[in-house]
Amino acid sequence: MANQLNMSEVIRAVASVPAEAKVKFDTGRYFGSPHSYRGYHDELAISGREDAPVTADEALVRLGAILGEEIGESRYEMTAKTPVWHSNYGEVESLAVVGYKISKKGNLIFKTEYRDW
């Protein structure tokens, strides 16, 4: 089982590719909106989008907007060490973000791993 990435590791990965690179998950979905994870409200989830590619520049803006902010109904602060999941809002998909790779086209693909909780 691979270690789960935290928010600072996800931000570093996104910042490592060109601004116009697309950011997606190994599920085939593109980077969506960050939000409080339904399974663990004090952890971060990033939803997936199937309809529109998101660039690294856009993903960095979205991540930067919540770093240090309190989100979710219980108002948990999202810090650099907050674990990151891939899950749509209100769902518990149990997909931990555990790594990433850069495709031959230069796009960033986050790797996920199912976690039974």
User: Which residues neighbour 74 within 8 Å (Cβ) at sequence distance 6 or greater?
Assistant: 36, 41, 42
In degrees rounded to 5, what are phi and psi of residue 8? -65, -35
Amino acid 114: pLDDT: 95
Task: Return d(Cα 5, Cα 50) in angstroms, integer.
Answer: 23
Amino acid 39: pLDDT: 72
- Which residues of the chain fall below pLDDT 70? 72-74, 117
Amino acid 112: pLDDT: 97
Amino acid 42: pLDDT: 87
Task: Return d(Cα 30, Cα 39) in angstroms, integer.
Answer: 21
Give the predicted TM-score (pTM) of the model.
Answer: 0.92
For residue 13 the two structure tokens come to 């990965």
